[in-house]
A and B are shown apart, each in its own frame.
Chain A
Amino acid sequence: MRRGFYLSVLFGLFISNSFAQQGGELRFCLRSEPKTFDPILVADDSSETIRYLTGGVLIRVNRLTQKLEPELAVSWKVLAGGRRIDFELREHIYFSDGTRFSAEDVAFTMNKLLDPALHSPTGDSFRSAPGPVKTEVYGTSRVSITFPAPVGGLEKLFDQVAILSSHSPQAEMAVLGPFYVAQKKPGSYVLLRRNPRYWKRDEKGRSLPYLDSIRLEIQQNRTTEALRLTRGEIHLISNLDPELFDVLSAESTTLVRDAGPSLEGEQMWFNQVLNSPVPGYKKGWFRSKTFRRAISESINREDICRVVHRGHARPAVGPVSPANQFWFNRTLQPRDFNPQDALQRLEREGFRREAGMLRDREGNPVEFSLITNSGNKPRERMAVMIQQDLSQLGIRLNIVTLDFSSLIDRITQTFDYEACLLGLVNVDLDPNAQMNIWLSSASNHQWNPSQKTPETNWEAEIDRLMRAQASETDAIKRKSYFDRVQEIVWEEEPFLYLINKNALSATSPNLRNVTPVVLRPQVCWNVERLSILPEISEIRP
């Protein structure tokens, strides 16, 4: 009897190993409808996931090692101080519809990407200065692209550029990636099928990808998504909430994975806009470095990580997460929780406690509102913890949850808010992607956007350093500039960085070759090598 059992297990394992890499349909959920299938116009998470799964790129950032790897380009060379890049392309490659890939397609893609009429978010990263971008094609496998000014981290930007076919009648639906979009049902699902002309092969010479298809189901409700995973209806969940992580972990510890700190962080900032409708005395507090530092020191980040994120987060240091191996400034440490020190700091500025309430030099009670978006439970919980932490100093914090569009309107248009708590996701490892945040003239310079000239010396210094790193090609020099930016931000605290969330995911035991990483798309970054183990019940004789 027992021998029979072992034999059936061995048979099952043999069968499962034999069939593990043959076909199957991977199913997982997108949290919103993809806005576009045109890789040039991608601006939302769902469209980006589809671009990653379908698009062929010249250079890919390996999500595990964070190093650049050749894909459609065999080699590349950055020249003219970062103004020009030359590619040597792979030959005998075909789009999913059978049209041949050549250097003309790269030139076509770059021209479309940088067409000002299309307003491509991906193309914006390449715009270092006004002026035309020149593409020169040499035969079928060599192409050279020249920009009007040096572009920092130029080659990394090509990770986001899915090459389009210049000849295919299917236009952007003809792809070079492992899958192509075969079917879509708005509000329900997107079906991707295996690209039979995909060029990659595994170590044994077998065609990749292993999967036959991927069904991406539109599912907003995360609890339902988790429930579906436990029922075996879907195979993976990326970017899992800590609460659901614990729920799934209680079902089976093999279901969930914590890949460590991700690029996602939570931060809070004060409105420092001079002409905002905030009372003058409050503007004075918010523009005071001492006040910002005192608030920062009064927030118990360790507690937030432990209580709200159930240990799946760590106190944040600055704008760069430790997940970003190269750009993270390792000399900086998270701000210590020290309410006594914070109170003394405020008292030196003329603040005083009276009957449990903190008052400023003029006797105004220290009370301000903190807006955040409604529906994000962990973020609301963080706000409540900050509320209690600040109450220890005698500061009254009013938490206001707003729908997202109202919140965006307040922080970008009317500036009718006092403090804001939001999350930040750095999808790009390179600091160039953060130019729109750090330049004082930028519209996303949240605490005081669109300044004509920098209002403070430290903002002027950040402007200078960010421009310097953007026009530098030597990675070490760029890092030294950006390290200094991180130090200034740590010192001045225009943003109070709170926590970095861990990259949590859940995968079905049937999914093989899974190595979740901290970079997006977390679980399916190596989609071409993922395979599905047939259910044991299915393969029993």
Chain B
Amino acid sequence: MKPRRQFAVGILILVFLASLMANQLAPVSYSHQFRESANAPPSHEFPLGTDDLGRDRLSRLLYGSRISLLLAPVAALIATALAALVGGTAGYLGGWWERVGMGFSDLFMSLPWLFLLLTFRAMLPLNVSPLASVIITFTLLGLLGWAAAARVVCAGARALRNSEFVLQARTHGCGDFRLLIWHVLPPLKPVLYAQFWISIPVFILSEANLGVLGLGVAEPLPSWGNLLRDLENYRAALTSPWLLAPLFLLVLVVACFQTVLPEEDLP
């Protein structure tokens, strides 16, 4: 492994561990409002200062990292599984199936994501806990984010459709379902693996975008998305550089994810 990748893996492990140990590392509760210390600069008591409601920024960053880093892979897994199912089936069966499958994915990609998410959120029951809401948000992201990956998987499956080992398996009486699961998808693993890793930062950024619109993770739970909302105030970002911590962490993690991927797997 190249030193650059080793370094990226090290950073990712460090960030993951810090977020998993948020209970131990966070100085105070992420939701407690120290109203007398709202918008406080970094101090011994609040190492990254406090937000506009007086909540400790470091605690919120640690817990927010946990939510974004644990749930984004879940969303990526859902999206990759759907991409494998739709793209793999369409590419392997070809013909009418491929036209329908890819037409469906084209349709999905052309749909306005944001409005879809707004609509889904509006249809959800209101009395869900913040934790349930965050799980729903990421599940929705996963359910909506498979289309681009499906096209890549479809292209890979199409290439395998008439390969010799598939023809040989077919002549031995192997059914389509068994062929797809046992002979077509396994060689596509590197593609699926790459799609999975690429999707993680995409979903982290998607949640961040939703958070900026106030539609991400429900309060008082923190996430990178709602932490980034503090940067809406252009002057505060210049005069209070500690506000850039979540942005810095987001860029670092996304960059590390890109570095971790082997170059041959990158699309």
Complex CA–CA separation, A418 to B126 (angstroms): 9
Contact B127 A384 (CB under 8 A): no
Nearest CB of chain B from residue A499's CB, rounded to whole Å: 15
A417 to B124 CA separation, bound complex (whole angstroms): 12
Please indicate the chain A residues that have their CB under 8 angstroms from the CB of B118 in the complex. Answer: 403, 406
- Binary A-proximity of B221-236 (CB < 8 A = 1, otherwise 0): 0000000010011111
Main secondary structure, interface of A, reads helix
> Given A307-B54, A400-B126, A377 and B218 touching (CB < 8 A)?
no
- Closest CB in chain A relative to B65 CB, distance in Å: 20
Interface 1/0 per residue, B204-226 and A, CB below 8 Å? 00000000011100111000000
B234 touches A403 (CB 8 A): no
Give 1 or 0 for each of B98-141: 1 = CB within 8 Å of chain A CB. 00000000000000000000100110001111100100000000
Contacts A223-B232, A307-B38 known; A381 to B53 CB distance under 8 Å? Answer: yes
Asked whether any CB of chain B lies closer than 8 Å to the CB of A374, the reply is yes
* A387–B126 touching, CB < 8 Å: no
CB distance from B260 to the nearest CB of A (A): 34
- In the assembled complex, the CB of A282 is this many whole angstroms from the nearest CB of chain B, namely 9
As a 0/1 sequence over residues 225 to 255 of chain A, the CB contacts with chain B under 8 angstroms (1 = contact) are 0010000000000000001100100110000
Contact indicator per residue, chain B 51-74, by CB within 8 Å of chain A (1) or not (0): 011100000000000000000000
List chain B residues, Cβ under 8 A from A416: 126
Tell me whether A398 and B215 are in contact in the complex, defined as CB-CB below 8 angstroms, given that A223-B232, A247-B236, A406-B122 are known contacts. Answer: no
A385 to B218, CA, bound (A): 14
Residues of A within 8 A of B220 (CB): 384, 387-388
Are B121 and A402 closer than 8 Å at their CB atoms? yes
Cα distance, A307 to B122, chains bound together (Å): 29
B33 at the A/B interface (Cβ < 8 Å)?
A: yes
Q: Are A398 and B128 in contact (CB under 8 A)?
A: yes
The answer to whether A367 touches B35 (Cβ under 8 A) is no
B259 close to chain A: CB less than 8 A: no
- B128: which A residues are within 8 A, CB to CB? 398
Task: Please give, as numbers and ranges, the residues of chain B lying within 8 Å of A387 by CB-CB distance.
Answer: 219-220
Number of residues of chain A lying within 8 A (CB) of chain B: 36
How long is the Cα–Cα vector from A416 to B122 in the complex, in angstroms? Answer: 11
Instruction: From known contacts A303-B35, A384-B219, A398-B218, infer whether A418 and B127 are also in contact, taking CB-CB under 8 Å.
Output: yes
**B127 lies within 8 A of A385 (CB):** no
Which residues from B are CB-within-8-Å of A385?
A: 33, 35, 53
Q: Does residue B31 face the partner (Cβ distance < 8 Å to A)?
A: yes
CB closest chain-A residue, reference B124: A400
Q: Which residues of B contact A137 (CB under 8 A)?
A: none
Chain B residues, Cβ within 8 Å of A418:
126-127
Contact flag A383-B122 (CB < 8 Å), given A377-B229, A388-B33: no
Q: Which single member of B38, B127, B215 contacts A401 (CB below 8 Å)?
A: B215
Q: CB distance B122 to A403 under 8 Å?
A: yes
Given contacts A384-B53, A403-B122, A406-B122, whether A367 and B127 have CB atoms under 8 Å apart is yes
Instruction: Please report the C-alpha to C-alpha distance between residue A385 and residue B52 in the assembled complex, in whole angstroms.
Output: 11
Which of B33, B130, B214, B232 neighbours the largest number of chain A CB atoms within 10 Å of its CB?
B214
Scan B242-265; emit 1 where CB is below 8 A from any A CB, else 0.
000000000000000000000000
Chain B: interface residue total (CB-CB under 8 A): 30
Q: Is the beta-carbon distance between A402 and B122 smaller than 8 angstroms?
A: yes
Complex contacts, B32 vs chain A, CB 8 Å = 388
Residues of A within 8 A of B215 (CB): 374, 401, 403
When chains A and B are docked, how far (Å) is the Cα of A366 from the Cα of B55? 25
B210 to chain A, nearest CB (A): 9
Contacts A223-B234, A385-B33; A371 near B54 (Cβ below 8 A): no
Contact between B213 and A398, CB atoms less than 8 A apart: no
Give the CA-CA distance A308 to B31 in the complex, in Å. Answer: 16
Residues of chain B within 8 A (CB-CB) of A399 are 218-219
Most buried by A among B54, B215, B233: B233
Within 8 Å by CB of B233, from A223, A376, A417, lies A223
How far does the alpha carbon of A368 sit from the alpha carbon of B127 in the complex, in Å?
A: 7
Given A227, A375, A402, A417, which contacts B234 in the complex, CB threshold below 8 Å? A227
Question: Which of B54, B133, B213, B239 lies in contact with A374, CB distance below 8 A?
Answer: B213
**Nearest CB of B to A444, in Å:** 22
Closest CB of chain B to A390's CB: distance in Å?
Answer: 12
A459 to B232 alpha-carbon distance, docked (Å): 43
Question: Does A276 reach chain B (CB closer than 8 Å)?
Answer: no
B250 to chain A, nearest CB (A): 20
A244 to B129, CA, bound (A): 32
Note all chain A residues with C-beta closer than 8 A to B54: 307
A264 proximal to B (CB < 8 A):
no
Residues of B within 8 A of A377 (CB): 214, 229, 232
Q: Does A49 interact with chain B (Cβ within 8 Å)?
A: no
Task: Give the complex CA separation of A306 and B36 in angstroms.
Answer: 9
* Chain B residues with CB below 8 A from A388, complex form: 31-33, 220
Contact partners of A223 in chain B: CB under 8 A = 232-234
Task: Please report the C-alpha to C-alpha distance between residue A250 and residue B126 in the assembled complex, in whole angstroms.
Answer: 40
Tell me if A369 is interfacial: C-beta within 8 Å of chain B. yes
Bound CA–CA A227/B232 (angstroms): 12
Closest to A379 in B: B214
Per the bound structure, the CA–CA distance linking A308 and B39 in Å amounts to 11
**Contact: B126 with A243, CB < 8 Å?**
no
Compute how far the CA of A307 lies from the CA of B32 in the bound complex, rounded to whole angstroms: 14
Interface centre among B38, B52, B213, B236 (most CB of A within 10 A): B52
Residues 356-399 of chain A: 1 if any B CB is under 8 Å from the residue's CB, otherwise 0? 00000000000111010011110011011101100000000011
A residues less than 8 Å from B218 (CB atoms): 398-401
In angstroms, Cα B53 to Cα A303, docked, is: 10
Known: A377-B232, A387-B220, A398-B218. A371 touches B53 (CB 8 A): no
- Distance in angstroms from A172 CB to nearest chain B CB is 35
CB distance from B30 to the nearest CB of A (A): 12
Kindly report which residue of chain A lies nearest to residue B32, judged by CB atoms.
A388
Q: Which residues of B contact A251 (CB under 8 A)?
A: 235
Chain A residues contacting B232 (CB-CB under 8 Å) are 223, 377
Question: When each residue 65-85 of chain B gets 1 if its CB lies under 8 Å from chain A and 0 otherwise, what string results?
Answer: 000000000000000000000
Contact of B126 among A227, A398, A403 (CB under 8 A): A398
CB within 8 Å of B: which A474-520 residues: none
Task: Report chain A residues within 8 Å CB of B31.
Answer: 388
Closest residue of chain A to B220, judged by CB? A384
Q: Give the complex CA separation of A307 and B33 in angstroms.
A: 10
* Cα distance A369–B128 in the bound complex, in angstroms: 8
CA distance A158 to B256 in the complex (A): 65
> Can you identify 7 A-B contacts, CB atoms within 8 angstroms?
A247-B234, A250-B235, A368-B127, A374-B214, A377-B214, A377-B232, A418-B126
Kindly list the 4 A-B residue pairs having the minimum CB-CB distance in the complex, ordered from nearest: A406-B122, A374-B214, A369-B126, A247-B235
Given contacts A388-B32, A398-B127, 18 further A-B contacts (CB under 8 A): A227-B234, A243-B52, A244-B233, A247-B235, A247-B236, A307-B53, A367-B127, A375-B214, A377-B229, A380-B214, A381-B52, A384-B220, A385-B33, A387-B219, A398-B126, A399-B218, A402-B122, A416-B126
